[in-house]
Structures are given as C-alpha cells and as structure tokens.
C-alpha cells in the first residue's frame, strides 16, 4: 500500500502543476467566459506526454499507470477543472483503442491521438439512455464492408471540435450483448452536431449532440468484436471515474487555497477571518475531507493498476466520495469568501460550477452507490 509518492511520481505531479500554473490558470476565467476550447494548449500538454498517459509507448504513449494519471489530472485541474477533464476524456477514448483495438488500428490512430494532432470524444449517452446505458438505441447495420449508422448521442464532450468519435452502437439485439464499439471520423458524411449546449459550467469545452443519419463507417473501424461494446465502455469508465475524481480534487484544492489566502487578508469585527475559531474549524474540515478523498483515490487507482477483483467497486466508491467532497469543499470556499465568492473575478464560483457536473457524469453518484451495493450483496451470497 502506497502512502507517499516516490521521486518519479513527485516529478510527474510537479511537471503538471507547473504546466497548469503557467499555461492554464492565467486563462481559465477567459476560456470559461468566451466558451473557448483551448486545443492548442492541450496539444502543448501532449508534448509533455499528457495526450496518451496510459497508452503503450510503441505508438507514442507515455505508458504510465492509472496512479500517475490521477496525479496529473488533479494537478492540471488546479488550473482549470474543465480543461483537465477534457484531456482525461481524450485519454479514456484513446485507451479504448489501445486496449481493445487491433495492431493496425492502434498504429493508424494512436500516434496522432497521443500527440493530440487528433482529438477524440467518447460517445455513450443518448437522449433516452443515460444511467441505463445498456438501453442505447443508436443502430449500426452491416452493409458489405461498412456499417450504416442511424441515431443520436447526447451530452458529448468536445463534439464538433474533435476528430474521432469512439461510439457505442447497437449491432445486435436488446441489452448489453447487442452493443459494439466503432471509431468514427467526425467528418464522415451523415454525421452532424447539435448546437453547443448552454451549461452551468464546463464552458471551456463544447458539449453537443451527435447525430448519425445513414452514416457509413468501415467495418475495419470496429474495436474487438461485435457484442463487446458494453464491456469496453464499462472498462473505460473505471478509469474515467478516477480521472474525474482527480479533477474534482484539483479544483477543490485551488478553492481551498484561495479561501486560506482570502481569510488572511479579510477582516471582520476587528479580526482577520482566519483568527475566528469557527472558521478555522471549517478550514480544517475542508482539508481533512480533501485529504481523505485523495487517499481513497490513490487506493482505487492502485487497485485498478494491479487489476484487483474489487477495482470496479473501489473506483465507484472513490468517485462517489471524491466528487461529493470536491464540490462541498469548493462550495464552502465560496461561502468563506462571502459576497466576493459570488463574483466571477475571484474564480471561486467558476470552480463550483465546474465541479457540480462531476457528481453526474461518468455515472451519477446514485449509480456509484448501486454498483457498490450490488457488489456487497453478491459477496454476501
């Protein structure tokens, strides 16, 4: 069990922290306000190995561990949770190709994905299939050497601004056994995108519906075999849940740091805010919860790296706990700022808005409880 970082891990974390401080944090408020998708900055991150963190090195990946990825995404999120979260989504989609694709597919797409010359989106959710992902209806019908796709995906991060879509589609009957995974060129005729959604947060990455209307996708773009798509999607989500938890903790850490600085400067009733014991206790509780969540994240990441039988449950546990803690810490930090926390220039309200969605995506926190409960009940039989 690991409770301290080794020299390599400290170097990885510090590299990502420095990049976040120099390249991301100074622009985060403007990106949010202008709804700017910072592709060029993400490509700079890719030159440091962050475009394919846990992709094998024969195709340009960094071949790091999920534990390393957790350190990187938390560090990047100290600058902007939204930007860090999208880089994590790109990594998740790329990993699916690395883990389940043929060597031909890996060599075709992954070198450019690792450099982020190509950028990927992950397409699972549909208008009528969110938490119940096995009920997805987007249909892919075999026609010679192609599949003909019809249907719609919803809430797709990066859609319209990315190059490849790693999509779960129905090639067979109802239920999870009828789902397959296709890698789709975003410029394929018959693929179109909805308007950029107006959202509470995550404004520095576009979110759009993806529509398929008789879109022809080569059979050669099928990952693994027909009927394995649900398994591929769920395998990707284990790591995705760790990544989004890390993004929550990074954003919350910045919020906590801002609150500490503000409390040293702000006075009320003749005393600095950090001299009031009640507020000291609030800070202490925030730090304790954040550290507990970080420790939990590390434990789950280590379990996923060693392919522990309980890894899926631990990832769900860490996601539920960490994203709840991240949001609550950021929300308390806003409260400690008083009215100033509600102003955009202080950067706290953006973090609160960005972190709120982490309790919903990569599986809602209610679904995380369901995963844990099922594992506990199965184990008791």
How does pLDDT run across 53-93, given as a tens digit for each residue? 999 999 999 999 999 999 999 999 999 999 999 999 999 99
CATH top class, domain 121-225:
mainly beta
Q: How far apart are CA 209 and CA 376, in angstroms?
A: 36
Binned at pLDDT 50, 70 and 90, residue 378 comes out as confident
* Alpha helical stretches, state H, 35-102: 39-47, 66-77, 81-100
Enumerate the domain spans of the chain. Answer: 7-119, 121-225, 230-379
With the CA atoms of 334, 335, 337 and 341 taken in that order, what torsion angle do they form, in degrees rounded to the nearest 10? 40
**Least confident piece of the model among 31-45, 123-137, 249-263, 325-339:** 123-137
| Burial (0-12, 13-18, 19+ Cβ within 10 Å), 235 | middle
Architecture of the CATH domain 230-379: Up-down Bundle (1.20)
Q: How far apart are CA 210 and CA 298, in angstroms?
A: 34
CATH number for the segment(s) 7-119: 1.10.540.10
DSSP 129: B
Please tell me the predicted confidence (pLDDT) of residue 381.
Answer: 57
Q: How far apart are CA 185 and CA 116, in angstroms?
A: 15
| 195 has pLDDT over 80 | yes
Please tell me the predicted confidence (pLDDT) of residue 180.
Answer: 97
Binned at pLDDT 50, 70 and 90, residue 380 comes out as low
Contacts of 207 (CB under 8 A, 6+ apart): 155, 156, 157, 159, 196, 197, 199
Cβ atoms within 10 Å of 193's Cβ, excluding its own: 17
Which are the catalytic amino acids? 362
Binned at pLDDT 50, 70 and 90, residue 303 comes out as very high
Catalogue the E-assigned strands of 158-283: 164-170, 179-185, 191-193, 207-218, 222-223, 267-268, 271-272
- Give the DSSP per-residue string, 308-322: -TTHHHHHHHHHHHH
| 1 has pLDDT over 80 | no
């Amino acid at each position: 069990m690991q409770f301290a970082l080794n020299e390599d891990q400290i170097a990885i974390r510090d590299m990502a922290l420095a990049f976040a401080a120099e390249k991301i944090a100074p622009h985060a408020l403007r990106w949010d306000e202008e709804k700017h998708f910072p592709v060029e900055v993400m490509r700079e991150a890719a030159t440091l190995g962050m475009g394919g963190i846990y992709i094998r090195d024969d195709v340009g990946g960094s071949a790091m561990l999920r534990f390393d990825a957790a350190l990187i995404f938390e560090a990047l999120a100290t600058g902007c949770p939204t930007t860090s979260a999208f880089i994590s989504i790109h990594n998740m989609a790329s990993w699916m190709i690395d883990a389940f694709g043929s060597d031909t597919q890996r060599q075709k797409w992954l070198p450019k994905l690792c450099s982020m010359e190509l950028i990927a989106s992950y397409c699972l959710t549909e208008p009528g299939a969110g938490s119940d992902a096995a009920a997805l209806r987007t249909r892919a019908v075999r026609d010679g050497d192609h599949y003909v796709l019809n249907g719609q995906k919803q809430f797709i991060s990066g859609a319209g601004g990315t190059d490849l879509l790693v999509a779960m589609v129905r090639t067979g009957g109802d239920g999870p056994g009828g789902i397959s995974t296709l890698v789709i060129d975003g410029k394929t005729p018959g693929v179109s995108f909805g308007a950029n959604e107006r959202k509470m947060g995550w404004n520095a990455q576009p979110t759009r519906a993806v529509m398929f209307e008789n879109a022809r996708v080569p059979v050669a773009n099928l990952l693994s075999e027909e009927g394995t798509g649900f398994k591929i999607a769920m395998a990707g989500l284990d790591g995705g849940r760790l990544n989004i938890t890390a993004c929550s903790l990074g954003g919350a850490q910045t919020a906590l740091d801002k609150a500490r600085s503000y409390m040293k400067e702000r006075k009320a009733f003749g005393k600095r805010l950090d001299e009031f014991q009640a507020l000291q206790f609030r800070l202490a509780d925030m730090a304790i919860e954040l550290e507990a969540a970080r420790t939990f994240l590390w434990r789950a990441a280590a379990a996923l790296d060693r392919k522990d039988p309980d890894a899926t449950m631990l990832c769900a546990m860490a996601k539920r706990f960490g994203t709840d803690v991240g949001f609550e810490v950021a929300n308390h930090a806003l409260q400690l700022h008083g009215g100033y926390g509600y102003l955009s220039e202080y950067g706290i309200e953006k973090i609160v808005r960005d972190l709120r969605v982490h309790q919903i995506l990569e599986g809602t926190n209610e679904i995380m409880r369901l995963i844990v409960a099922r594992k506990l009940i199965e184990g008791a039989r």
